[in-house]
Structure 1
Amino acid sequence: MQLGVIGQAAGMFAVTNVDDLLLLALWFGRAPDRRAAGKVVAGQYLGFGAILAASVVGAVGAGFLPEGVVPYLGLLPILLGLRAAWEAWRSRRDGGSGDEGEQPVSGTGALAVAAVTLANGGDNIGVYVPVFASTDTAGLVIYAVVFLLLVGVWCAAGRFLATRPFVARAVSGWGHVLLPVVLIALGVLVLVEGGAFGPG
């Protein structure tokens, strides 16, 4: 059971933070020394910590909703997935390059990194809240611990990608395809497991 939650947490973090990995690669590429790189890591933790806190608060608030309403929170990631698919299609139609041009990378200070991480991860809250609301306290703790550990992994991967632009471009290409599919699948899973379509 716990291994399953760990796997779900890791998968959900990965697919909702593909674009953040690319931003990290850009920031680390602009960090001239170890101190600047440390500020990138600190900013990433600060920004993602705010996303996680807002998601937990949202899930607790959702806990006060009538029980029959909670499964329908799965509509949030479905809508976000449809929006991501629409934006990817529009970007391809307009000949744009996708996520790389959507968020400016203006500095490597901790607060700048945190602000962009929070703004770029705003949609994550809509994904995390229904999942957190449908799990128990132990599951919520597991999600939080796994997410925070993976922020460190993401920072290491971003530093790695900063020296390998070809890999970064490949991740960017897959992210446009994978993110909408997984968001929609996640929303459907929340609806089904919550009994939105009747008893399982």
Structure 2
Amino acid sequence: MNVGIIGQAAGLFAVTNIDDILVLALFFARGTGHKGAARRITVGQYLGFLAILVVAGAAAFGATFLPEAAIPYLGLLPLALGIRAGVRAWRHRHDSADERAASDHGPASLEVAAVTFANGGDNIGVYVPVFATAGAAGTSVYVLVFLVLVAVWVAAGRYFATRRAIATVLSRWGHVVLPVVLIGIGLLILVEGGAFGL
């Protein structure tokens, strides 16, 4: 394997996925104390990222599953999930942290996958030309490096969510921050993609 292409793949992954660490930390904070939450978050992150790779790979090699014009509308996924999380936070606004934790079952794999996929809409635009010029062999190296780095990103998100200072803030404010971040991501994707003429 070419060391240069591994370095390029690692750099490309880091640049296009830096925002995922914050989202993962929020999901891990929400999953604190819920059995199987770490597994569901990890599975969801991999499902969402695999969907990104499938769409980017298909587009790079001639078959498109997702028309380019549809990509901005992926912002509707985190927007809807953020609104849902905001409504849940509003309903339980007077609950203690323990009561909020008891009413929430932690993030579901498909919820994490949907946010990962929607947040990766811009990744698809970056990965398509890279995969097309790298060819099948080069793309397989990119994909392998990306899948290894997804595990690193999941570990980093979990690490940040479990640091005492961060965990304290997230346990106190995570139920507010998560909807704000998801709604912000959704609106950013919609606006930057030109959805609805925005």
Give the structure-1-normalised TM-score: 0.60
Paired residue secondary structure (1:153): helix
Residue in 1 that maps onto 2:129: 130
How big is each residue's C-alpha offset from its partner over 1:115-136, in whole Å with a ceiling of 9 and x where there is no partner? 1111111110000001111112
Give the structure-2-normalised TM-score: 0.60
State yes or no: 1:58 paired with 2:68: no
Residue in 2 that maps onto 1:198: none
State yes or no: 1:159 paired with 2:143: no
- Kindly provide the amino acid, as one letter, of the partner of residue 62 in structure 2: G
- Kindly provide the amino acid, as one letter, of the partner of residue 49 in structure 1: L
Whole-angstrom CA distance in 2 between matches of 1:40 and 1:17: 16
Paired residue secondary structure (1:162): helix
- Kindly provide the amino acid, as one letter, of the partner of residue 9 in structure 2: A
Residue in 2 that maps onto 1:144: 143
Which structure has the highest helix share of the two? 2
Residue in 1 that maps onto 2:30: 30
Deviates more, 1:53-62 or 1:144-153: 53-62
Paired residue secondary structure (1:14): helix
Give the superposition deviation at 1:34: 4.7
Residue in 2 that maps onto 1:39: 40
Contact 1:47 1:114 in 2 (8 A): yes
Contact 1:2 1:139 in 2 (8 A): no
Whole-angstrom CA distance in 2 between matches of 1:10 and 1:39: 25
- Kindly provide the amino acid, as one letter, of the partner of residue 51 in structure 1: I
Contact 1:40 1:113 in 2 (8 A): yes
Give the superposition deviation at 1:38: 0.6
Residue in 2 that maps onto 1:187: none
How many residues are paired up? 131
Identity level (%)? 58
Whole-angstrom CA distance in 1 between matches of 2:117 and 2:10: 19
Paired residue secondary structure (1:33): coil
Paired residue secondary structure (1:149): helix
Unmatched tracts of structure 2, length 5 or more: 69-78, 86-105, 168-198
